[in-house]
Amino acid sequence: MVSAEGSNNSKTAEVAKKIKELLIESPDDRVDAARLDELRKVFAQRTPDMHATISSNSTVQMKWKEFLQQKHKVFIKQLCDRIAQGKRTAIRTIWGVVATTPIPNGDHNIVSTDLLLDWIRAMSFLPDVMEDKTIRNMLQAEFLNPYRDVQYYTMIAIARCAHELYGQQTEGKDIAERAERILEILTMMQLPTSQKDLDSQGGLLFVPPEDAVPQDDGNDEAEAIDYNDASEDSSDSDSEDEQPAAKRAKISAAKAIKPMFTFQKVSCHRLAWSKAWLAVLKLDLPLVALKKALRFLPGNVLPHVPHPLRFSDFFMEAYNHNGVVSVLALDGLFLLITAHGLEYPNFYKQLYRLITPSLLYVKYRTRFFRLLDKCLTRNEMLPTHIVAAFVKRLLRSTLVAPVPSVLFVLALCSNLLRKRPEMACLVHRNDDEWKDGFDAETDDPEEANALQSSLWELGALERHYYPAVSTLAKSVGREQELSTPLYNLDDFLAHTYQSLFEQERNKRKQQKGKTTVPLTFVRPDSLFAEKDVFHGLLAVPSSQSHKGTN
């Protein structure tokens, strides 16, 4: 017994000495990376000792456990410092630490949220996490998306890190860049869309079988969920005999269902997804990150979170901005209003304010046009004088707008005029006999007095240099248009200068070989007109010297 204990003490001393030696940093990057990886292997072998339950009278084992935990923290700090410097080997090493240093939970092991939190903190300092596509691909393909347990606990770690940054933000510290990098990591994740999708992928650590009954994940940040709903259902009754038979059967079935780890339930993933996003969106994001969040949320977050209306404050605050930010916020805000019952009385007033000539030039105008069509054509309860104000402001903006935007606005206004015949007076009104009452300066469609005006802008567009604009403007609101189907606005959304150019070029290709010389053509005899002082200075060769040119 004594010799065995002495042998163990000797082996422990050797391991302690090796750990101390390996903690000495090296200036050579390759040597230092190999040193850190060797440390990872040493600590992986000592994981049971770091999490062992020690009796109070075992002083030696207690000191050994404290030594291992203290040196492990130093090791993790060294890794995080190198991650913040952009060392990819350090990122891979800390992933190895996460895989080989789990948290014991009964008969199973789970991912350590504390380790993931240290990793997220370090990644928030990484300067090129957004620009370097190789790092992004490495994070997605090797760590975040393949392992659902890692993904779940990473979302919890991101929420904790965001709360920490929010506290630093209130202290006056500039954390905008760190918040942007955390948001970038969050957008790399692909949330499971269903329980079947979640079950089809495993975890980094052992996933318990269906008959396992773990009661807790061991992480304080995990959502406390009671999977035994029967206890809540039966708490209001004095006895089980007093309950209806159907309810007793439901409770018995619920008791037969055995609980799982939280990362095995898609509902827990959605809840962690929501908490992570809400925590990050509380931070003061840079303009680039804010735009990215506004583009990402409507399609990737709002459809999958349990309570989408919790994001309404973020979208409304962004919608109150001017310019591109308001346009991007319109998508999510419209989704919350139409699909989730959000009440926002100033929605159309703010939408009216967004319509400016400069908006018709931005690259996000297609997104805005699509939502504008939904807001104006699908809401039959919208008063006519409000719709008339939008039509008037849109046409006024097209007078200085690019051709693709002009074509869409004309098509949209044509559809609105045909859906609301009471606005026909705007087209057929004689300007000479009517004083224009439209207030172009106000940003409130209620006060614009659009019905007291006329669409004289159509007359200006009829003289547009582009033939398609001129032709379409001549038909908007006319009687011959009433019998034709409504325009498919998707066809107009695809228009760009390049597509219009290709369209005109294809027309000329189709007409090739069919062109004839105009009969009234007269060949000029000089470069300048007859009454010009330079007439005759540069003569044009006669037709006889160019036979066959006719």
Measured in degrees and rounded to the nearest 5, phi and psi for residue 119 equal -65, -45
Confidence of residue 342 (pLDDT cuts 50, 70, 90): very high
pLDDT value at position 244?
Answer: 59
Indicate the SS3 state at residue 311.
Answer: helix
pLDDT value at position 225?
Answer: 35
The tokens for 153 are 């606990």
Of the listed ranges 184-188, 396-400, 418-422, 429-433, the one predicted with least confidence: 429-433
pLDDT value at position 484?
Answer: 86
Across the range 231-245, mean pLDDT stands at: 42
What single DSSP character describes residue 437? -
Nearest residue to 74 (alpha-carbon basis) of 15, 18, 19: 19
The tokens for 408 are 């869409």
pLDDT value at position 232?
Answer: 33
pLDDT value at position 246?
Answer: 60
Using CA atoms, how far apart are residues 350 and 330, in angstroms rounded to an integer? 10
Across the range 474-490, mean pLDDT stands at: 87
Residue 516: pLDDT over 80 = no
User: How wide is the angle at C-alpha 10 spanned by C-alphas 7 and 15, nearest 5°?
Assistant: 125
Who contacts 417 (Cβ-Cβ below 8 Å, separation ≥6)? 391, 423, 424, 426, 427, 476, 477
Longest dimension (CA), the chain: 125
Nearest residue to 352 (alpha-carbon basis) of 367, 372, 334, 366: 372
Residue 322: pLDDT over 70 = yes
Across the range 279-297, mean pLDDT stands at: 94
- DSSP-assigned beta bridge partners for residue 109: 104
- Residue 540: its H or E element: none
pLDDT value at position 517?
Answer: 54
Using CA atoms, how far apart are residues 547 and 550, in angstroms rounded to an integer? 8
Who contacts 2 (Cβ-Cβ below 8 Å, separation ≥6)? none
Of the listed ranges 46-55, 140-149, 344-353, 441-450, the one predicted with least confidence: 46-55
Indicate the pTM of the whole model. Answer: 0.78
Across the range 208-237, mean pLDDT stands at: 39
What single DSSP character describes residue 329? H
Confidence of residue 224 (pLDDT cuts 50, 70, 90): very low
Share of the chain above pLDDT 90, in %: 45
Count how many Cα atoms sit within 13 Å of the Cα of residue 481 in the half-sphere of its side chain: 22
Confidence of residue 383 (pLDDT cuts 50, 70, 90): very high
Using CA atoms, how far apart are residues 209 and 232, in angstroms rounded to an integer? 26
Using CA atoms, how far apart are residues 526 and 40, in angstroms rounded to an integer? 89
pLDDT value at position 57?
Answer: 62
